[in-house]
Amino acid sequence: MQNLHNAIRAAGLGNQIKVSTATYTGLLITSYPPSNGVFHDNVRGFIEPIIRFLAHCNLPMLANIYPYIGYLGDPNGNLPYALFTAPGTVVSDNDRRYSNLFDAMLDAHYAAQARIGGENVNIVVSETGWPSAGGRGASVENARKYYTNLIRHVKGTSGTPIKPGRSIETYLFAMFDENRKDGAETEKHFGLFSPNKQSKYQLSLN
């Protein structure tokens, strides 16, 4: 990463091209409450130098945030909390209030970073999505709700309780269903479009 960053700067492209890498919630040993977020000891040896490099060079960290996976991980999972449709506060963390799981998961990453020198490293959500079939809570309607509410949320300026007052750069996963993908059935159904290029639902990205 350091060599690539130096080469990009030497080419005069440092303002246009940012060097980073991606992490995900599975690297956290604790994510609840969000302020207790901390990386597993067995990943700290490689993640800490990366985060310190990003902090030194003012570069973002990428994180894959999947509330659907968090919802599945709890047998009593709160579906409205995961879909941004909870009527009010679901989780209280000291003086912070969480009404959606996306913010809670993202803030757990911010808390984990802060513990190893990355308090000021911005996080770009490099992947997030919701499956339209294949498992508990996976339906076309729930996927439509998740994406619609997510887009509205990240384009606003509310931010998260730990990082308020900002929009959240976020990328949707995925454009198309991966009907030949191995693994859980839900893994095949994260696309906004079916493999035949038909849209599953209407979304406004404006």
Q: What amino acid is encoded at 142 in this protein? A: N
Element (H, E) at 192: none
CB 177 within 8 A of CB 195: yes
Task: List Cα–Cα distances, 93 to 107, 108, 175, in angstroms.
Answer: 11, 11, 35
Task: List Cα–Cα distances, 119 to 49, 83, 111, in angstroms.
Answer: 14, 28, 8
Rounded distance between C-alpha atoms, residue 74 and residue 101, angstroms = 12
Our CA angle for 72, 139, 202, nearest 5°, is: 125
pLDDT (tens digit per residue) in 16-54: 999 999 999 999 999 999 999 999 999 999 999 999 999
- Residue listed under structure tokens 């209407």: 202
Please say if the pLDDT value at position 206 is more than 90.
no
Query: Quick one: CA torsion of 192, 196, 197, 198, rounded to 10 degrees?
Result: -70
Is 203 part of any domain? no
Q: Quick check: is 127 catalytic?
A: yes
The count of structural domains within the chain is 1
pLDDT (tens digit per residue) in 77-111: 899 999 999 999 999 999 999 999 999 999 999 99
Is 57 part of any domain? yes
**Number of neighbours of residue 195 by Cβ within 10 angstroms:** 12
Is 5 part of any domain? no
pLDDT at 204: 80
pTM comes to 0.96
Question: 114 in helix, strand or coil?
Answer: helix
Is 110 part of any domain? yes
Catalytic residue among 127, 169, 185, 187: 127
Domain that holds residue 149: 22-193
Beta sheet of 170-172, edge-to-edge order: 22-24, 61-64, 123-128, 170-172
- Residue listed under structure tokens 């890498």: 21
pLDDT confidence bin for 205, thresholds 50/70/90: confident
Is 97 part of any domain? yes
Domain of 51, CATH number, reads 3.20.20.80
Is 204 part of any domain? no
Is 188 part of any domain? yes
Phi–psi pair at 145, nearest 5 degrees = -60, -45
Q: What amino acid is encoded at 118 in this protein? A: G
Is 175 part of any domain? yes
For residues 97-125, one letter each, b for 16 or more C-beta atoms within 10 angstroms of the residue's C-beta and e for the rest, the string is: ebbbbbbbbbbbbbbbbbebbbeebbbeb
Region 65-82 average pLDDT: 94
Q: What is the largest CA-CA distance in the chain?
A: 53
Tokens at 130, concatenated? 């919701």
